[in-house]
Amino acid sequence: MAKVEVKKLSICYVKRPIVHEVTFCAEGGQITALVGPNGAGKTTILKAIAGIIRPIKGEIFIDGIPTSGLTVEELVKLGVVYIPEGMSVFAEMSVEENLEVGGYLHRDRLKERIETVFSLLPELGKKRKIPAGMLSGGEQRMVTIGRGLVVGATVLLLDDPFLGLSPLIANRFCEVFQKLRQEGKTLLIAGQHVRRLLKAADKGILIEDGHISLEGTGSELLKNPHLTQVLFGHFNAVSSSVT
Amino acid sequence: MDKKAIKVPYLLLESVTVERNQREVLRGISFSLERQEIISIIGPNGAGKSTVFDVITGFVKPISGRIIFKGIDITGWDPHRICRLGISRTFQISRPFSSMTALENVVVAIMFGNKRAKRMTDEAIHDRARELLELVGLGHKTNTVSRCLTLSEQRRLEVARAVATDPELLLLDEFAAGLSPKAIDNALKVIERLRQEGLSLLIIDHFLNVTARISDRIIALHEGEIIASGSPTEVLKNKAVAAAYFGGSVDTVEELRE
């Protein structure tokens, strides 16, 4: 089981500090949820773990191995997979080809894993030969998640996975994530479906302005008045900008 | 407009059928919307929700059926004409002019899509653009190149650009996606304000507690057909909707949170 340790992580974008001295640990066989207002730094942290962004300070360990010298490709080979937010599919490729590309570095028995994804998402299976760009937005989102699942990752970094999905499909993905968790995978999920995420999570982390302001079990965080105030707001918060 | 007091709905879709890749993605759908009304369209992924927006705004042409807006048959019109007649929309996947700043993006939308732009000074156009960015909470990002905005900021820019054309009917495709619950609350206040200013809205969103709260009516689509329509409570209690959309039955809207 792969454990992800993040130690004193600091990241800047165009000289502006985005993440400041963030330290936490995501255990194997657990779901860790990253919640926080828009622009808090959740995506940046996930990208740093995936090796897409380099921190200015701090270290990240996967199973005790420091990742600072590793390329994104080497991290994917290690089983660390980042599923970005949004719907970036290869538009001209078919649904099936999109999944094949996802498994490019893990080609051994790839067909089988692709079939597993299709059995999970029969809606996509029906459209496997259709160019992904022709699908609806939500279906494209299913493709991007499927493309990550096909790798058979040990560490899955998911950025706002439920965005654009119907409740039916979101529920199904929740079940998939629970199953992966039982298989001992490490899941780190960021997003704005705060209740859904914290209910599913073993551990919840609240990020505000690039630092951790709360940490606890999912249910503890859900009951926390500070989190309620930050994420759900007060009735008089109208003028505090639509962030 | 007052002299033509005939009883025609503000927006009317009449047996609209749309085909894509030899497949009917909308099958003879009909509904109407009144001035200052808010209707939400819900349904499973791939049900045809965004296609309804595409066909109203002229991005796709129907193979049969009619679309009437303010008494004018706009079926088959090009998108820019429909925009100037008063219908604008946001896209689920936002595509701002990526090398332009947020402000410039909105300025372009005003200059291109707003009928009044010709009579506005450059200064007035820029002021209006700033006001709109303020409205969607991007007041502090006016000079940020739009490709450097986060995904949720880009979506809010999309809303500013749509409102910039001074629409009478606004179509919002998943405006709440990616926003924090608090930000959604603020966005809803903006929508309510737009409605009070006279706008009508069609909304697509998967946050059912959001759509149920602001919509006068909900239309449920499934495989290109309307399977239910009515008040939010009616539609959300509908068994066919529950089966196709939530995958089970629900007793209260409260249960549907997220």
Residue B35: give its domain's CATH number.
3.40.50.300
User: Do A164 and B258 make contact, defined as CB atoms within 8 angstroms?
Assistant: no
Average pLDDT over residues B199-218: 91
User: Nearest CA to CA, how far is A80 from chain B (Å)?
Assistant: 23
Domain boundary among B166, B185, B204: B166
Interface residue A163 vs chain B (CB under 8 A): yes
Class of domain A1-78+194-228: alpha beta
pLDDT of residue A242: 31
pLDDT of residue B252: 44
Question: What's the N-to-C CA distance of chain B in angstroms?
Answer: 42
pLDDT of residue A191: 92
Instruction: Name chain B contacts of A233, Cβ cutoff 8 Å.
Output: 181-182, 185-186
3-class SS of residue B58: coil
Alpha-carbon span B150 to B254, nearest angstrom: 30
Do A145 and B185 contact (CB within 8 A), yes or no?
no
- pLDDT tens for chain A, residues 1 to 243: 789 999 999 999 877 889 999 999 999 999 999 999 988 999 999 999 999 999 999 999 999 999 998 999 999 999 999 999 888 899 999 999 999 999 988 888 899 999 999 998 898 999 999 999 999 989 999 999 999 999 989 999 999 999 889 998 899 899 999 999 999 999 999 999 999 999 999 999 999 999 999 999 999 999 999 998 888 875 333 333 332
Interface predicted TM-score (ipTM) of this complex, two decimals: 0.74
**Looking at chain A, which residue has its C-alpha nearest residue B223?**
A123
Q: State yes or no: pLDDT of B3 exceeds 60.
A: no
Whether residue B13 is found in the same domain as residue B28: yes
| Cross-chain CB nearest to A243 (options B137, B148, B244) | B137
pLDDT of residue A154: 93
Instruction: Name chain B contacts of A144, Cβ cutoff 8 Å.
Output: none
Whether residue B69 is found in the same domain as residue B184: yes
* Residue B91 lies inside a defined structural domain of this protein: no
Give the number of domains in chain B: 2
The answer for residues whose C-beta is within 8 angstroms of residue B220's C-beta and 6 or more apart is: B41, B42, B43, B226, B227, B228, B229, B235, B238, B240, B241, B244, B245
pLDDT of residue A240: 34
Place B248 in a pLDDT band, splitting at 50, 70 and 90: low
| Cross-chain CB nearest to A241 (options B50, B137, B178) | B137
Q: Could you read off the pLDDT of B211-238 as tens digits, one per residue?
A: 888 999 999 999 999 999 999 999 988 9
Identify the domain containing residue B214 by its residue range: 1-86+168-258
Interface residue A226 vs chain B (CB under 8 A): no
Q: Could you read off the pLDDT of B107-144 as tens digits, one per residue?
A: 999 998 888 888 999 999 999 999 999 988 899 999 99
Whether residue B244 is found in the same domain as residue B178: yes
Between A97 and B183, name the one with better pLDDT: A97
Interface residue A239 vs chain B (CB under 8 A): no
Average pLDDT over residues B243-256: 63
Please write down the long-range contacts of B69-78, taking CB distance under 8 Å and 24 or more positions apart.
B69/B10, B69/B11, B69/B12, B69/B169, B70/B1, B70/B10, B70/B168, B71/B4, B71/B6, B71/B8
- Lowest-pLDDT range of A185-194, B40-49, B96-105, B182-191: B182-191
Name the DSSP class of B1. Answer: -
Whether residue B60 is found in the same domain as residue B172: yes
Angle subtended at Cα A149 by Cα A185 and Cα B207, rounded to the nearest 5 degrees: 100
Whether residue B114 is found in the same domain as residue B177: no
Whether residue B196 is found in the same domain as residue B159: no
pLDDT of residue A120: 87
**Looking at chain B, which residue has its C-alpha nearest residue A197?**
B258
Average pLDDT, chain B: 90
Whether residue B11 is found in the same domain as residue B139: no
Instruction: Name chain A contacts of B227, Cβ cutoff 8 Å.
Output: none
| Cross-chain CB nearest to B190 (options A38, A170, A242) | A242
Whether residue B158 is found in the same domain as residue B181: no
* Residue B47 lies inside a defined structural domain of this protein: yes
Report the share of chain B in percent with pLDDT over 70: 93
The answer for residues whose C-beta is within 8 angstroms of residue B227's C-beta and 6 or more apart is: B220, B221, B238, B240, B241, B244
